Amino acid sequence: MSLLELKGVETFYGASQALFGVTLDVSEGEVVALMGRNGMGKTTTINSILGLAKPRSGTISFGGRQVAGMRPHRIARLGLGLVPEGRRCFPNLTVFENLVAAARGSEWTYDKVVELFPRLGERRDQYANTLSGGEQQMLAIGRALMTNPSLLILDEATEGLAPVIRQHIWAAIRKLKAEGQSILVVDKTLSELLPVADRCFVLEKGVAVFSGAPEALTPELQDRYLGV
Ligand code: ATP
């Protein structure tokens, strides 16, 4: 069953159109990759799902409800957990406080987050603004998980991080997938993203030009749509 379904979504910034009839879906338990070069509409798609950009036409259903036009906080409460580009945590709260402040529901707890990211346990009482970039990213993912999201959205979660930290984050994504967590992920590291994705969508100038299994995204298509 589709957890998230976008049909014919058209989103504008003022007079300029950013999305041209984007159709995309994520099923229960799937990891779906949203790809495309810079400025092709990935963040606008995510913002449309979250209610931060209002589609002018098209439909967006999440968990069986129409969400296009709903207020962002109401959409989030239906079970969307966003890890935004550029990781946002409360700088003057500790790791523990950041996680507990985000809690909603009972499945994810501080202990479960620390099991996923042991590094956060070692930094339990450290203020978020003193963490390394990678640790802040782990904390941002932990905060999103603490809301017990039915869909986790990762927007460039590994961008700009040290290789060893990126490995920790990809390992966490694989573990979450194995546990059945539905995830929509935007990332430029194809070598990590393609093996973990069940399906891929590629955007070019606001149009979904490819959708299918990662194996169907041949090197030739990768070069055409994602090459620099
Ligand atoms: P990146 O990988 O660089 O984040 P992206 O694929 O997420 O790129 P978007 O940020 O969705 O792309 O941008 C899609 C288009 O919409 C671009 O042409 C961009 O310039 C435009 N755009 C994005 N945000 C705004 C805004 N706030 N106002 C006007 N135009 C915008």
CA nearest ligand 1 atom 19, residue: 39
Ligand 1 atom nearest residue 53's Cα: 27
Q: What integer pLDDT is reported at residue 72 of this predicted model?
A: 92
| pLDDT for res 228 | 67
Task: Report CA-CA distances (Å) from 163 to 34, 87, 89, 170, 193.
Answer: 22, 17, 22, 10, 15
pLDDT tens per residue, range 157-182: 898 899 999 999 999 999 999 999 99
Write out pLDDT tens, residues 96-152. Answer: 999 999 998 889 999 999 999 999 999 999 999 999 999 999 999 999 999 999 999
pLDDT tens, residue by residue, 31-52: 999 999 999 999 999 999 999 9
49 lines ligand 1 (CB under 6 A): no
Indicate which residue's Cα is closest to atom 18 of ligand 1.
39
Is 36 a pocket residue for ligand 1 (Cβ < 6 Å)? yes
Question: Ligand 1 atom 21: the closest Cα is on which residue?
Answer: 18
Q: What percent of the chain has pLDDT over 90?
A: 88
Instruction: Please say if the pLDDT value at position 201 is more than 80.
Output: yes
C-alpha distances (whole Å) from 10 to each of 63, 76, 80, 204, 210 are: 21, 21, 21, 14, 17
Over 90: is that where the pLDDT of 1 sits? no
Of 40, 45, 190, the one to substitute when testing ligand 1's pocket (max ligand atoms within 8 A of C-beta) is 40
* Token pair listed for 212: 């299918």
Q: How far is CA 197 from CA 6, 24, 184, 191, 201, in A?
A: 19, 14, 9, 11, 10
- φ, ψ of residue 111 in degrees (nearest 5): -60, -40
- Which residues have C-beta within 8 Å of that of residue 108, sequence separation ≥ 6? 145, 146, 147, 148
Residue with tokens 């985000």: 102
Say whether pLDDT at 18 is over 90.
yes
Q: What is the pLDDT of residue 144?
A: 94
Retrieve residue 179's tokens. 């546990």
